[in-house]
Amino acid sequence: MPGSTERLALDAATAVTRLRSLDLTKPPGIAEAIDWVAALAVLGADRLDPQYVAQTWGSLLKNRDDLDLALARGADWLAGK
């Protein structure tokens, strides 16, 4: 993804894989992952951090029930902390 670091892209790919392990109605696909990395890059993230995750959930998860399920796990879980 232009504008992002390699580390951020790898962290995001790992996080998306983690999300796909949940029983989601609409798991994030490639388009959502690209949108998410772009949003993270705009915020100045060079790696995945819970603070940035908390600000960008909506770029990644489009279904409210999926969002609630991920929020219950927490931004630390998604960021791998």
**What is the structure's pLDDT at 22?**
94
Residue 64: Cβ within 10 Å count: 9
The pLDDT of residue 53 is above 70: yes
Residue type for position 77: W
Domain segments of the chain: what residues?
6-79
- CA–CA gap between residue 76 and residue 38 (Å, rounded): 20
List, for residues 16-33, the tens digit of each pLDDT value. Answer: 999 999 999 999 999 999
**What is the structure's pLDDT at 3?**
65
**What is the structure's pLDDT at 1?**
64
Share of the chain above pLDDT 70, in %: 96
The pLDDT of residue 7 is above 80: yes
**What is the structure's pLDDT at 77?**
95
